[in-house]
Every structure is written in structure tokens, then in C-alpha cells.
Amino acid sequence: MQKVLILDFGGQYNQLIARRVREQQVYCEVHPHGMTLDEIRRFDPIGLIFTGGPHSVYLPSAPTVDPGVFDLGVPILGICYGCQLMAQLLGGRVTAAQDDSAREYGKTPTAFDTSCALFEGIGGESVTWMSHGDYMAAIPAGFSLAAHSAACPTAAICDEARRFYGVQFHPEVEHTERGRDMLRNFLYGVCHAAGDWTMADYKTQAIEAIRAKVGNGKALLALSGGVDSSVAAALMSEAVGDQLSCVFVDHGLMRKNEGDEVEAAFAHRSLNFIRVNAAERFLARLAGAEEPERKRKIIGEEFVRVFEEVAHQIGAVDYLVQGTIYPDVIESGQGEAAVIKSHHNVGGLPDCVDFKEILEPLRLLFKDEVRELGRELGLPEALVSRQPFPGPGLAIRVIGEVTEEKLALLREADAIFREEMARAGIAADQYFAALTNMRSVGVMGDGRSYDYAVALRSVETRDFMTAAFSRLPWELLDRVSVRIVNEVRGVNRVLYDVTSKPPATVEYE
């Protein structure tokens, strides 16, 4: 498989660059800029991309790269800081823009020289996204100017002979109108990519690698029914068959019918699927707990205990399988120690169960690639395209103490909301019902009621770090409200949450 190497100089869009490359069926990895020349050679890239970054190349502390990369004969695309760094290392001059007019932030009309391979076929002028306070005052020998804007005569440079290209703007962001085409030109026109990064190929290779690693050993996976663990399970199962055991801890905090649905989705596969019905034990531990962090902690701890018990029962398990994905793995370019999250959605897996090794078969994939792999493995679409569901489950959607009675109310109300959303064909990024801890007075029939209020939450978001509430149609909210108060005994009021994140969070606890 051909590989592009993205050297990370600390820019905020670095993961986006990687996604844009992979979208074009070219495999790439993001590595810290301090990678040695030997490591780069061993990586054997068909092309290099230097990312942007917050520094100024002329300061002594500025992150840099081994200048030997320019002698490898490999094409290079420098973006923003990466472009300035290349210019400086090859003999150009980069300085701070002296007055505000030479700094550029945001959408900028830019003119291109379409004889440059990077800009072939993209038209003479379009909008790019700029974000820079420094600029190239002199470009290195061998380079020519390939784009300019009103404020910046050096918006792009190229040296076709050595196949070095630099852009002052960010081709990876949506605001750069022809950014995708520019990256495509670099990958296919300049690096001669074959477009060999497909999920079908990945599946085959991953299966071979897992078989080679696991041999005759046994592997254990905690299956939550979420996208990542489900895809990891299906992949492992195809690779090692019944050497794999999957433990699904049903903590009783799942949505309506969810435990059975997870079981049904996996029962026919040779997963040694073990469902542990642990609802009673979780609820007993949660009794009296009202504080959100305490609730999370109890659930995390109890999960680990149950998982450990099952692992001991199975015995002699060599490998623990985790659904870690690429965004959790990417190391920072700023020279800090590699931070690799021990990622699990219910509070970490046990240290005290002895495993020879942890397997992370999805650690190279972005979320959308995980979903694609799931489809490739024949998982049902409903499972593959699931919205996120938090590890602590409905416990953080029942505000205050969790009881079986409250869970039952919430399950019904939530199922009605999801059913009506699906019927209306509305695809918000995440939506659910929560049970507030508030009771209020209502009138039902001719009598007084004093019942719970259900809150409906629906959000639009890309990354779940920020979110806007969904503008749902009144008719839909009306229908959901009428159904919930009629069908769910114990609820007499339905509220719609119109708060964004920040200041609110998506979940209630």
C-alpha cells in the first residue's frame, strides 16, 4: 500500500489534512515533525506534507525538520507554516508582516498559475482560506510564484523540477473552494498515487495481520454495541473465529430493547458472545447516588469488576481487544511524550487481569472509515451508522438518583422520540430524551397530576465539542409531546432543550 507522510508542526487542521488525503483513497499517517531521516526513509512515503503550525519559522524555538528530506527525491507539499519552513530551509526569507494589510485571515480571493501541477484544471481564480501573520518575502532559488492574493504576492510557490510545492493558504478546509482538487493534483498528478486505500483491501490486510499475531491464542473484547467495539468484534471474528470471546455487559442502563438488539446483531456470528445481565448489581451500587461524577465512577468501577470476573472464568486469555481509533492515537507534533489514550467508554479496562498484549485493530482508522469497514464486514446499517451513546448509558440521562422506575419511564419516552424522528426522516447528529428530576402539577382528565417532566434534546454537531440545538419542526415536537404524556404514565410535561454547547453539554450529567 502506498503511503503519504504528514509531518505535524502543531497546526489545528492536521487531522483534517489526513482525512482529506484518505478520502481520495490514499493512505497517510500523521507523525511528529521530529521524525528522523532514517524513520522517514523506512516509512517509504510517495509524498510528504508539512502541516501548518502556530510558530514563526525565524524564531530559534521554531519546530523544524531534518533538511535531508529535500534530498530524498520525494514530492513535498508545504501548507502555511510548512510552506514557510520549506522556503526558509531552501534559502528563501520569511518575515512578519509589518502592517495589518499583509496579514491575511479568512476567505481570500486568490489568483492561480494553472501551469503549476498543483493548480492544473482549477481555473484562474477562486477563494482560499488564509490564516497567517508571516509571509515569504523572498522565495528560494529554483522556485517560481504560482499564486497571489491582493495582500500577498507569494500565496503559493512551486519547483516543478524537484516536485516541491508550498501554499500559504489551507487547501484542507472547506472554505478553500478548490482545495480538494489541489490535494488531488498533488496526490495523483505529482505523487502518482494509485488510489489503493480502500476498505476492502484494508479488511483483507487487517485480517491477515491479526491472524499472524494471535496465532492459536485467545482474545477477549468488551462489546458495548457501539460502532467501534462492534466493528472491532466483527473484524476479529472474521480473523480468528472462535478464539475470540466478546463480553457484553448489560448494565441495565441501555435504551429500550437495546440489549436484545445488540445480542441479535451478534448472536449469529461466531463470537462466543457472552451477555452478562448485571442490571441488578449496577442499580444496587447506584442506589442513593445523586452526584453525576459519583454515578459515572460507580458505573466505571462496576463494569471493570464484571469484566474481570468474566475474563477469569474464560481463563488463559492472551489478548485484550480495544476499539481505539486514529484520532485517539495521533501524537502531538510539539515534542511532548506521545499521548495515547487508554480509550474505553466505561471508565477504563482492568490492569489486574493478565494479558500478553492489547490489540487495537482500528487504531489507524478515522470514525467514518470504521463505519465503512463495518459495512464491508456486513454489519447492519442501523448499527454502523448509530449515533453515539455514552458508556454510562441512561444513568446520565436520569438526573439525580437512578431507579428502575425512572429508567422505565425514560426508556419509553426516548423510544417514542426516536421513533417519531425516524418517521419524520430527520437525521440530527444526536438526539434523545432525558428525565429531569422535576415534578410539576398538571391536569389530566378532570384530575390533578404531579408527575415528571421529560426533556427532549437534539443537536447538530461535527465533533461533539461544540453543538447547536436542532431546529425541529413544531409539528414533530407536538406529536412527540402528545404521545409521551399519553403513553408514558408518570410524565405530564415535555420540554424541548434549546441550549447550545457551550454553555450546556450534550448530555445532562
Residues 79 and 171 sit within 8 Å (Cβ to Cβ): yes
**Catalytic residue, candidates 104, 172, 372, 376:** 172
Residues 22 and 373 sit within 8 Å (Cβ to Cβ): no
158 a catalytic residue = no
Question: Measured over all CA atoms, what is the biggest interatomic distance in the chain, rounded to whole angstroms?
Answer: 88
The one-character DSSP state at 25 is T
- Mark the segment that binds ligand XMP (CB under 6 A) among 197-205, 211-219, 255-263, 389-397: 389-397
CA 477 – CA 438 distance, rounded (Å): 20
392 sits near ligand XMP (criterion: CB under 6 A)? yes
505 sits near ligand XMP (criterion: CB under 6 A)? yes
Tell which one of 390, 406, 455, 456 touches ligand XMP (CB under 6 A).
390
Closest contact distance (angstroms) between CB of 329 and ligand XMP is 17
Which single residue is written with the C-alpha cell 511524550?
Answer: 337
430 sits near ligand XMP (criterion: CB under 6 A)? yes
170 a catalytic residue = yes
**Catalytic residue, candidates 80, 116, 158, 191:** 80
Tell me the β-bridge partners of 40: none
58 sits near ligand XMP (criterion: CB under 6 A)? no
Which single residue is written with the C-alpha cell 500500500?
Answer: 1
**Catalytic residue, candidates 170, 302, 369, 372:** 170
497 sits near ligand XMP (criterion: CB under 6 A)? no
* Cβ-based nearer residue to ligand XMP, 153 or 388: 388
Tell me the β-bridge partners of 245: 220
Query: Could you tell me how many residues of this chain bind ligand XMP (CB under 6 A)?
Result: 12
Helix extents (H) in 315-380? 367-376
147 sits near ligand XMP (criterion: CB under 6 A)? no
CA 46 – CA 190 distance, rounded (Å): 10
CA 469 – CA 107 distance, rounded (Å): 27
Tell which one of 257, 339, 464, 499 touches ligand XMP (CB under 6 A).
464
* Cβ-based nearer residue to ligand XMP, 78 or 391: 391
80 a catalytic residue = yes
What is each CA distance from 101 to 84, 96, 132, 153, 184, in whole angstroms? Answer: 19, 12, 11, 12, 31
In the region spanning residues 290 to 309, those forming contacts with ligand XMP, defined by CB under 6 A, are 296
* Cβ-based nearer residue to ligand XMP, 270 or 466: 466
The one-character DSSP state at 485 is H
Name residues whose C-beta falls within 8 Å of residue 375's C-beta, 6 or more positions apart in sequence: 199, 381, 384
Closest contact distance (angstroms) between CB of 347 and ligand XMP is 8
In the region spanning residues 349 to 388, those forming contacts with ligand XMP, defined by CB under 6 A, are 388
Return residues touching ligand XMP (CB under 6 A): 296, 345, 388, 390-392, 430, 464, 501, 505-507
